[in-house]
Structure 1
Amino acid sequence: MPYTHLNKIENLRYALEYDYCFTVDRDGRGGGVAVMWRKVVNCSITNYSLNHIDIEVDDLQRGKWRLTGFYGYPEGSRRRDSWNFLRQLSNASQLPWCIIGDFNDILSSDEKQGRSQRPQWLINGFREAVSDSGLVDIHWKGYPFTWFKSLGTERAVEEKLDRAMANDIWCNMFQYATVECLTTTASDHYPLLLECDPKPIQHRHLKQFKFENAWFAEPEFDTFVKQHWETYGNTTITRKLDDCASDLTSWSGHKWSIGTGHNISLWDQNWLSDGTSIKKPDNIDSQLNNLTVADLLHHNAKEWDSGLIRGLLNDDIADKILHTPLLESVQNDKITWQHEKNGLYTVKSAYRFCISTIPGRDQHRVEGKWHLIWQTQMPPKIKNFMWRICRNCLPTRARLHDRGVTCPINCVLCDAGDEDSNHLFFSCQNSINCWQQMGLWSSIMQHRNLTISVKENVFNIMLQLNEDSRAVFACVMWSIWKQRNDVIWRNERVHRTVVCERANSLLTGWRNAREVRDRYNNQQHSPQRFEWTRPDAGTWKCNVDASFSRSRNKVGIGVCIRDDQGQFVLAKTEWYSPILDVDTGEALGLLSALKWVKDLHLNSVVFELDSKRVVDKFNNNMIDESVEASKWGCSQFSKSGPISS
């Protein structure tokens, strides 16, 4: 961490909740270097200077390795000193070595954007130093530049001055390491995040289980619990209760994914393709009472027995069943959350489901011009803060007093009135001073009315402001609230100038970060012309595509294999019924291609299809319900080749 001062680093360590820190302070305004770590990491400082800190990390799983925080000399006249210092550090230890920091150099002309190009001899000099030191770049993610100056002007310039590099031993130790550039505007340098052993994205854990009394009203509840309890085996009662809680959480918005069908009752369970169930008739024959989905399948194949189904049920229900897909790759019956494509429960999807289905839901809605908050371009935390104000959730002293909390009721900032939201933001002299300094007081004064709710005041004022002024208005309200909390909890009072500058800084920083992100996304997704390309020598290319015919209720699969010269080798087509959603159909085509390639005993095959969602999930090992058909192929991935879109 370059550019630090000893009198600030301790406060930063405390704020970031690190246990230890080591700082090399510098004279004057040049900054310094520092390192912070938590006690769970076993490391020691082995060497340091004004421009580096050497750390030896004792990894219990991989053994010892070396990490260096580096700050290259910023003076142009000392470039060679910086390169020679890098060479010197490379010879200081034989341990696996990673070095990260601000090198004040670039490795190629592509690492600079704007103004004049850096002289080639400087680029070559740094390249030679990196090569002599046995270092290579660690895999980079995110924005390509790490330093900027004069953004938004004609003199704007961006460079990749910061990086992380490692020697071969360290790269072999951490084969999947990445370094990510995180966009922020607190400095003219973006921070780097080095992940030595990145973990795959994990799905959110479900919240603590809560039993819902409303489940007793569901006709299938008793049957569901009894059937699942019998499958838990001879485990402890605690384990059975945990399993039952997990199953009930899924069941509350569940849909069955059909494997064998033996565990799914034909009646009153959600297993049809649209997530609905078949209601059991009141006068049902006792022989049909315990039918399962498996009873509707052919005994020798995972296919619907259409004759049996149409003879047993009416045409509408029979059509629903025959339009429910059966996938060979789904081996076991399992419950999925039907309101998300990946089958996993989320609070957002449950909320949307409740809002769209609960009778009398309108009574829970609060009228108001909420779009003025949600559609204004400002930080999400400010939108949430404004929502809390308008829903009267802000814990002002008057609000706390109304809730039975014993506390003073006078305004913290002016001591001249009861502290409710209307007074704090629109009547307190301290706040009025802030509004005047921001040039918003005239609009607020004309449209505020202290006899109506704070929600109405906020909407009335925002309605008169333009887009930019609404964002400023909201950020100043947030800054006033922070000023009030600082007085209560830290006994600190700040001038209105600080309040206004804090609001402006928050909004400007957020806008700059969005600008950087959008510019990067535009570079990544600029329109390109895509053409079919030949695979590498000795490699086959397999193109896969799916088509969907609603009139025939079928999915068509096309697969074509070419050699490294682009010459046609083999092709095949298949039809599947019933029709599937697009993601599942594309994934089914990939599964078919993988099986075919395996049967043909082809090695070094590159697969190509046009569904980016399926490709991304396959390559990231994040297969979900919508691409369930690809699961079989995952085990063949290393034997075949990469998959691209």
Structure 2
Amino acid sequence: MKVLYWNCRGFGNTSTRLVLKNLCLSNKPDLGFLGEPMIPSNLVNNSYWSALNLKLFVMNNKGNQLPNLWGLYTIGLSPSVIAISTQHISISITLENKSLLISAIYAHTNHIHRRQLWSELQILMATYPGSWCTFGDFNAVLGAHECRGERLPSRISCEEFKCFADNTNLLHLPTTGAKFTWSTKRRGVALIERRLDIALCNDEWFSIWTHVACCTLPKIASDHYPLLLTSCSVNFNKPTPFRFHKMWLSHMDCKRLVSVTWSKSVIGCHMFVLAQKLKLMKHELKVWNTKVFGNIHPKVRQAKLNVVEIQRCMELTEHDQELLDQDKLAHNDLLHALRVEEGFWHEKSMLNWHINGDINTSFFHKVAKIKHTKKSISMLKDGDTVLDN
């Protein structure tokens, strides 16, 4: 699935329409959203949209003013509008057998007015739980690291934007391409650049897609870069490289295996001996991980089931010393499995995390997912040709 967003800064001139035509024919988006068209929609002939295989289906409500957000979809789809306001259009759509919820954003430039947007989106996401993606021009940044120029962003605005993302459990999707998506297009000290156009997705969105990526497209005829969000499900069967997991050290048999394997005799020069022992160690650890250590995630689930089952039996039998002992043992097994699982996600997220004693498994899991999106390749460019899928 592909979603295109572009703050075009006026759709009345032929150059802007030509650029959008090129963007759509090159990238073939399933959904498209235009910010700040600045003209009535009836000034665009239906034949123009037909040539792009798109249909204009919704505009936001600005009262007596012209709508500043248009929604387009590929002919053959059937999105449903669930909410419209002055700053967003929210739709639901079923695509590739997945139920999706998308909010296209054109936020107000004043942070006081943006508070209404944050409130509306929080209520909307609570009313319609599911896989959410908010996408567009938020006119807000997280901090000075998302700006370049003499003017620093408002601290209150940054804190409110961060608070909105935290309250809705939305994750900022890394954007490949241009670091700053908007600029004043001036020179010298008058130049200001900011990362205003972004995508935020919740954990459910990452869970139903194996690949999620957001990139900027060439900036032409506007002061904003177009954004392209790509989400797809691809089964990768490539072999994964071997890595030693620190969680293996929690098993009492790990050190014995390492000691026995490393003590085996190998004849040759020092580098040959080292290489062969490492190769042998890799093989033995892979076999040991499969047959002895096992997959930690099913172990956590089983440990939880054991605790639940023992507690159910305790409710039916009063003062059974054997069940009390089993309950204590099951709790210890569950806590051990949870610590090992936390260490697994901690290591996979590759964070230098220094908080001990808290279960941060969910946090590490999300960081690992975002890290995966950074590593994935959604398209390749060969000269002027963009190759995808």
TM-score (norm: length of structure 1): 0.32
Matched, 1:3 2:39: no
Q: Once the 2 structures are TM-superposed, how far is the Cα of residue 178 of structure 1 from its aligned partner? A: 0.9
Aligned-partner SS, 1:170: helix
Residue of structure 2 in register with 1:167 after alignment: 202
Separation in structure 1 between the aligned mates of residue 44 and residue 101 of structure 2, nearest angstrom = 23
AA matched with 2:76 = V
CA–CA distance in structure 1, aligned partners of residues 278 and 54 of structure 2? 48
Aligned partner of 2:365 in structure 1 is: none
TM-aligned CA distance change 1:9 to 1:105, over 3 Å: farther
Please tell me whether the aligned partners of residues 149 and 156 of structure 1 are also in contact (alpha carbons under 8 angstroms): yes
Q: What is the CA distance between 1:92 and its match in structure 2?
A: 3.1
Q: Matched residues in 2 for 1:45 and 1:54: separation?
A: 6
For residue 112 of structure 1, the aligned residue among 129, 139, 147 is 147
Residues 601 and 117 (structure 1 numbering): CA distance in 2 closer, same or farther, change over 3 Å?
same
Match of 2:285 in 1: 601
Match of 1:35 in 2: 71
- Matching residue's letter, 1:74: T
Pair member with larger Rg: 1
Letter in 2 for 1:147: W
Give matches, 1:58-207, under 5 Å: 58-62=94-98, 64-197=99-232
Residue identity matched to 2:175: W
Identity of aligned residues (%): 23
Structure 1 57/571 Cα, relative in aligned 2: closer, same or farther at 3 Å?
Answer: farther
Equivalent residues in 2 for 1:189-588 (5 A)? 189-197=224-232, 538=246, 572-573=271-272
CA positional deviation for 1:24:
3.2
Contact 2:122 2:167 in 1 (8 A): yes
Distance 2:142 2:281 in 1: 42
Give SS of 2:224's match.
Answer: coil
1-side partners of 2:64 and 2:244: how far apart? 56
Which amino acid is the alignment partner of residue 36 of structure 2? Answer: Y
CA distances 1:302-341 after superposition (whole Å, capped 9, x unpaired): xxxxxxxxxxxxxxxxxxxxxxxxxxxxxxxxxxxxxxxx
Q: Deviations over 1:140-163 (max 9, x none)?
A: 222121111134332111111111
From the superposition, tell whether residues 537 and 598 of structure 1 become closer, same or farther in structure 2 (CA, over 3 Å): closer
Letter in 1 for 2:285: H
Query: What is the CA-CA distance between 1:133 and the residue it aligns to?
Result: 1.7
Letter in 2 for 1:114: G
Going from structure 1 to structure 2, the CA distance change for 1:175 and 1:198 (only over 3 Å counts) comes to: closer
Taking the aligned partners of 1:16 and 1:594, their CA distance within structure 2 comes to: 57
**Closer/same/farther in 2, CA of residues 107 and 175 from structure 1, 3 Å limit:** farther
Tell me the distance in 2 between the aligned counterparts of 1:183 and 1:200: 30
SS in 2 for 1:177: strand
Which secondary structure does the structure 1 equivalent of 2:229 belong to? strand
Residue in structure 2 matched with residue 228 of structure 1 by the alignment: none
Which residue number corresponds to residue 324 of structure 2? none
* Distance in 1 separating the partners of 2:270 and 2:235: 35
**Is the 1:147–1:189 contact (alpha carbons within 8 Å) kept by the matching residues of 2?**
yes
Using structure 2 for the length normalisation, give the TM-score.
0.50
Larger RCO, structure (CA 8 Å, separation 6 or more): 2
Determine the C-alpha separation between the residues in 2 that align with 1:593 and 1:100.
51
C-alpha distance in 1 between matches for 2:281 and 2:43: 61
Measured in 1, the distance between the counterparts of 2:107 and 2:270 equals 57
Shift of 1:113: 0.9
| Cα distance in 2, alignment partners of residues 620 and 101 from structure 1 | 22
The structural deviation recorded for 1:175 is 3.7
State the 4+ residue runs in structure 1 displaced beyond 4 angstroms. Answer: 8-12, 25-31, 198-201, 592-597, 602-606
Give the 3-state SS of the residue equivalent to 1:100 in structure 2: strand
- Conservation of the 8 A alpha-carbon contact between 2:173 and 2:200: yes
* Partner secondary structure for residue 154 of structure 1: helix
What CA RMSD, in Å, does the superposition of the two structures yield over aligned residues?
3.8
Change (3 A) 1:13 1:124: same
Q: What is the DSSP-based 3-state SS (H/G/I as helix, E as strand, rest coil) of the residue aligned with 2:211?
A: coil
Q: How big is each residue's C-alpha offset from its partner over 1:575-601, in whole Å with a ceiling of 9 and x where there is no partner?
A: xxxxxxxxxxxxxx9xx9996563242
In the alignment, which residue of structure 1 is the partner of 2:312?
Answer: none
SS at match of 1:105: coil
2:192 and 2:244 map into 1 onto residues whose CA distance is 38
Note the alpha carbon deviations across 1:324-359, whole angstroms, 9 max, x for none. xxxxxxxxxxxxxxxxxxxxxxxxxxxxxxxxxxxx
Provide Cα deviations, 1:240-275, integer angstroms capped at 9, x if missing partner.
Answer: xxxxxxxxxxxxxxxxxxxxxxxxxxxxxxxxxxxx
Partner of 1:446: none
Deviation of 1:27 after TM superposition, in Å, equals: 6.7
How much does 1:180 deviate? 0.8
- Give the structure 1 partner of residue 89 of structure 2: 53
The runs of 5 or more residues in structure 2 that have no matched partner are 1-32, 237-242, 249-268, 290-343, 349-374, 378-389
Distance 1:593 1:9 in 2: 70
Deviation at 1:28, TM superposition (A): 7.9
3-state SS in 1 of match to 2:205: helix
Q: Is the 8 A contact 1:72 1:104 kept in 2?
A: yes
What amino acid sits opposite 1:22 in the alignment? V
Aligned pair count? 230
2:68 counterpart letter in structure 1:
G
Q: Residues 157 and 54 (structure 1 numbering): CA distance in 2 closer, same or farther, change over 3 Å? A: same
Distance 2:376 2:212 in 1: 15
Question: Is the CA contact (8 Å cut-off) linking 2:61 and 2:84 kept in structure 1?
Answer: no
Q: 1:185 aligns to what SS in structure 2?
A: coil
Distance of 1:61 and 1:30 partners within structure 2: 35
In structure 2, what is the Cα distance between the partners aligned to 1:100 and 1:620? 20
Contact 1:178/1:198 (8 A) holds in 2: no
Alpha-carbon offset, residue 122 of structure 1: 1.5
Question: Matches of 2:284 and 2:271 in 1, distance apart?
Answer: 13
Q: How far is 1:185 from its partner?
A: 2.2
